[in-house]
């Protein structure tokens, strides 16, 4: 296919081209001006459930983040938080997590260590309770299975960092020293328990075995 370049213009086509260019320039300017005028108004930062949400057809939609923040619904899924005082270290959240981003280490207590705010008895210490938000896919399953509802999604969504290690959040309230103490406490309790068991058990020689009375069995046979 051959292309030909038009090199000569008629007087009419020359002015028609200038007219088309100028009118399209003014169309663009008019559109920009209308947006500038509309931007004097802005849409309210409101929830989608607000009856007026879709009535706001015009106005700016951008926010001056971080000075202004979008409206977040209560059931939004953002950063996880564990109210560790209410955690019974049951491990359910770890088991249900599809990406293994929760790590827990529990230490048994020899006695009841308290109650959660909903009255559940606590018998385990949380030596470690870490959540790696860098892996979390925000499925919310862990919050659903938590029996004491101590694991919740918060409205904190801005925790970006260039250090990936900072995306692991630690919730254990125990210090290293306290963890050592708790471990020693349970191991000495278990040793004492074992010792008590062995001291309370009867020596082998003192076990009285029931004797089978051969006469009685024979008598029974005769009766039959």
- Helix H, strand E, coil C: the string for the chain is CCCCCCCCCCHHHHHHHHHHHHHHHHHHHHHHHHHHHHCCCECCCCCCCCCCHHHCCCCECCCCCCCCCCCCCCCCCCCEEECHHHCCCCCHHHHHCCCCCEEEEEEECCCCCEECCCCCEECEEEEEEEEECCCCCCCCHHHHHCCCCCEEECCCCCCCCCCHHHHEEECCCCCHHHHHHHHHHHHHHHHHHHHHHHHHCCCHHHCCCCCCCHHHHHHHHHHC
Binding mask 78-97 for ligand SF4 (x = CB under 6 A): --x-x----xxxxxxx--xx
127 contributes a contact to ligand SF4 by CB under 6 A: no
Segment near ligand SF4 (CB under 6 A), from 45-53, 144-152, 173-181, 206-214? 144-152
Binding ligand SF4 (rule: CB under 6 A), the pick from 17, 137, 164, 173 is: 137
Site for ligand SF4 in 1-60 (CB under 6 A): none
Q: Does position 108 bind ligand SF4 by CB under 6 A?
A: no
Binder to ligand SF4 among 79, 107, 125, 150 (CB under 6 A)?
A: 150
Q: Given the rule CB under 6 A, which residues bind ligand SF4?
A: 80, 82, 87-93, 96-99, 101-102, 131, 136-142, 145-148, 150-151
């Amino acid at each position: 296919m051959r292309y030909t370049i038009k090199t000569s213009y008629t007087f009419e086509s020359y002015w028609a081209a200038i007219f088309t260019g100028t009118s399209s320039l003014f169309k663009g300017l008019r559109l920009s001006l209308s947006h500038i005028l509309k931007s004097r108004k802005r849409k309210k930062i409101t929830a989608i459930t607000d009856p007026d949400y879709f009535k706001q057809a015009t106005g700016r939609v951008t926010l001056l983040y971080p000075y202004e923040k979008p409206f977040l619904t209560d059931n939004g899924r953002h950063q996880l938080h564990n109210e560790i005082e209410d955690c019974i270290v049951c491990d359910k959240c770890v088991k249900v997590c599809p990406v293994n981003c929760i790590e827990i280490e529990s230490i048994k207590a020899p006695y009841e260590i308290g109650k959660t705010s909903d009255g559940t008895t606590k018998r385990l210490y949380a030596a470690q309770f870490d959540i790696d938000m860098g892996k979390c896919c925000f499925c919310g399953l862990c919050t659903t299975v938590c029996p004491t509802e101590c694991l919740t999604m918060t409205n904190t969504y801005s925790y970006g960092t260039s250090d990936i290690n900072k995306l692991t959040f630690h919730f254990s309230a125990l210090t290293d020293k306290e963890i050592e103490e708790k471990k020693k406490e349970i191991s000495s309790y278990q040793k004492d328990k074992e010792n008590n068991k062995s001291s309370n058990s009867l020596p082998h020689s003192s076990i009285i075995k029931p004797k089978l009375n051969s006469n009685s069995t024979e008598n029974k046979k005769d009766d039959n």
